[in-house]
Homo-oligomer: A and B are copies of this chain.
Amino acid sequence: MKYSIRNILNSRSKANGNFFMEITKILGHKPKNTSIYKKAFTHRSMNIKDSEGNAINYERLEFLGDAMLSAVIASHLYLEVPSGDEGYLTKMRSKVVSREHLNELGKELNLLSLVESKIPSGQFGENIHGNLFEALVGAIFLDRGYKHCEKFIYKRVIIPYVDIETLEGKVISYKSLLIEWCQKEKKTFDYNVYEDTGNDDVRHFSVKLSIDEKVVSKARATSKKKAEEKASKRAFFAFQNRISQFK
C-alpha cells in the first residue's frame, strides 16, 4: 500500500490549501502530486513514517535534487563553454552548486516558511535553506521528470545567476558594474539606504535600488556596503536575461 501524506496531514486542510498555493507560486504552475512537495518540506523532527516504517522527510529528496542540479549544470556548462576542459567545468560547477549559493537560492524563495518541523525555525542553521532547495528540485524531478526539472533550474539558477565571467571571478563589484552600465545606457540610479535592524540583535541596513526612478531590487545586510552590493547583484542579473532558450 502506498502512503498518502495528504491523509496523514488531513487535519490541517487549511494549511494544505496554503501550501498548495505557495508551491504553485514557486513552480509557476500547479503540482501534479502535492504529496511529493509536502515531503520536500517535512523535517525529520516531525518523525512521520509511511505504512512500511520508512521515514518521511526531505533528506532523501536532497540527495536526488543534488544529483539533478549537478547534471543540469554540467550540461549547461558543457554547451556554454566549449573551450573549458574537464577541470575547468568541474570547478565552475562546484561554484554554482556551492553550499553558500544553494543557501542563497533557498532564502530567496523563502522556503523555510513552508517547513513542517517541531524545531523552532530560528534554531536551524544556514544550511537548511540550501537543503530545502535541493529537496524541492528532487521533488520536481519526481513529479514532472528531467525536462521540467531542467526548466526550473534554468529559471531559478542558470538564467539569474550563472554568468561565466562572474564565476571566473572577473567581476569584482556589482555596484561598479551596474553604475557603469547605467551611465552607458543613460539611466539614472539611486541607492536608498536606511537602518533596518528589525528584530535582530545586530545592526542591519536595507537598501532599495532604483533605476530610472523605479525600484528594481531590494537587499538587507549588516553593513551599508554589503546591502548595496547585494542589491546591485540582484539588479544586474535581472537586467541580463540573455539566455532565451527557455522563455
Interface residue ranges, A against B (CB under 8 Å): 50, 52-55, 59-60, 62-64, 66-68, 70-71, 74-75, 78, 82-86, 89-90, 138, 141-142, 146-147, 150
Q: Is the CB of B60 within 8 A of A86?
A: yes
Give Cα A147–Cα B89 distance, bound, in whole angstroms: 23
* A90 near B75: Cβ-Cβ < 8 Å: no
Known: A146-B146, A147-B146. A74 touches B85 (CB 8 A): no
Find out whether the CB atom of B78 lies under 8 angstroms from the CB atom of A74: no
Ordered by A's residue number, 5 sampled pairs between the chains whose C-beta atoms are within 8 Å are A53-B83, A54-B82, A67-B75, A78-B142, A146-B150
Main secondary structure of the interface of A (DSSP, over half): helix
Look across to chain B and name the residue whose beta carbon is closest to the beta carbon of A61: B78
| Cβ contact within 8 Å between A60 and B85 | yes
**Contacts A146-B146, A147-B146 hold; do A74 and B63 have CB atoms under 8 A apart?**
yes
**Least CB separation from A89: chain B residue:** B63
**Could you tell me the distance between the alpha carbons of A138 and B132 in the complex, rounded to whole angstroms?**
29
Are A63 and B82 in contact (CB-based, < 8 A)? no
From B63, B83, B89, contact of A78 by CB (8 A): B63
* Contact pick for A62, options B62, B70, B86, CB 8 Å: B86
Considering the complex, give the chain B residue whose CB is closest to the CB of A79. Answer: B142
The 9 closest A-B pairs by CB, nearest first: A67-B74, A71-B71, A146-B146, A67-B71, A63-B86, A59-B86, A54-B82, A64-B78, A63-B89
State in angstroms the CA–CA spacing of A228 and B86 once bound together: 38
